[in-house]
Amino acid sequence: MSELVPGANEIAKVKVEKTVGPGRDAWRSFSKNKVAVFGAGIVVFFILLAGVGFLSQYVSFIPIEGINDQKLSDRLQPPSSEYWLGTDDLGRDILSRIIHGARISLSVGFFSVVGSIIVGSILGVVAGYYGRWVDTVISRVFDIMLAFPSILLAIAIVSVLGPSLRNALIAIAIINVPNFGRLIRSKVLSIKEDEYITAAKAIGMKDLRILYSHILPNSMAPVIVQGTLAVATAILETAALGFLGLGAQAPQPEWGTILADSKNYLQSAPWTMVFPGLAIMFTVLGFNLMGDGLRDALDPRMKS
């Protein structure tokens, strides 16, 4: 019987490959990128560090000193077996303050970016989908905001609202809204012309359902990548505002504030600035490497 069907034996030998979903395919591509995995490892390390700092406030078996425990007799001690990263000018353990500062910096970076994504996505979707005067007004607002250097705009917003960690978070969220808004807008402009969107309109599907069910889900890949990179920028901006005295206020152990408190001891006690600076550098590096890996994994144009 098989002789009557040309190529039957060959067809029988063909192996049916299992269908790979886009999520699994992206993860496989990401996991092959060693640099991106290294960056993700750095991010996970600092997230765990922040978790340890958070839990140390409620459990006693984690051997981390209080963030404000002062021992003036041990002020400006170099790194040793007792103080692994040394002490500052008030005798506070730098390691403990860096661990607690990780929670503050990561929280501000994450929540500010989430706020930017929510507001920017709403404005970008409305501008791209409805167009006309709505698009013109929203796009011009984005252009005006992008005309200012981001850190100067953040300083201006915090100066109006008042120096505090919460206001710094709000300022960082505001200055990142145009980036996500323009990204979503450009994506919506290309998606809304696709045939399945035209078919959805033809069968009477309402605009809100089209936006929620079709346009937003298909616009999220570049937002995820941009969000990862934006967290790194937000951490830098948080540290900059803290260093200028406009962000976290003493005695909060935010990394930028630690640098500001230690700037007078750079020559006599360099460890007071070196270790907080390294914490900022490695955290930002980790998010940047991970963001680059996500871009390569989620962007079809980057795949061979």
d(CA 102, CA 283): 9
Structure tokens at 256: 């930028």
Count of residues making up the chain = 304
Instruction: Determine the pLDDT at residue 297.
Output: 77
- Residues of the chain with pLDDT below 70 are 1-23, 56-68, 299-304
Continuous H helices in the chain: 8-13, 22-32, 34-55, 94-130, 132-146, 150-161, 165-191, 195-202, 207-210, 220-243, 255-262, 271-298
Instruction: Determine the pLDDT at residue 87.
Output: 87
| Amino acid, res. 44 | V
Instruction: Determine the pLDDT at residue 280.
Output: 94
Domains of the chain, start order: 31-68+92-263+274-302 (1.10.3720.10)
Instruction: Determine the pLDDT at residue 2.
Output: 46
| Amino acid, res. 106 | L
Write 22-31 long-range contacts (CB < 8 A, 24+): 26/297, 26/298, 27/297, 29/296, 29/297, 29/303, 30/293, 30/294, 30/296, 30/297
Per residue in 96-151, pLDDT (tens digit) is 889 888 988 999 999 999 999 999 988 988 888 887 888 899 999 999 999 988 88
Instruction: Determine the pLDDT at residue 18.
Output: 47
**CB 171: neighbour CB atoms within 10 A?**
27
Instruction: Determine the pLDDT at residue 303.
Output: 53
Instruction: Determine the pLDDT at residue 195.
Output: 75
d(CA 173, CA 156): 14
Per residue in 28-46, pLDDT (tens digit) is 877 888 898 999 999 999 9
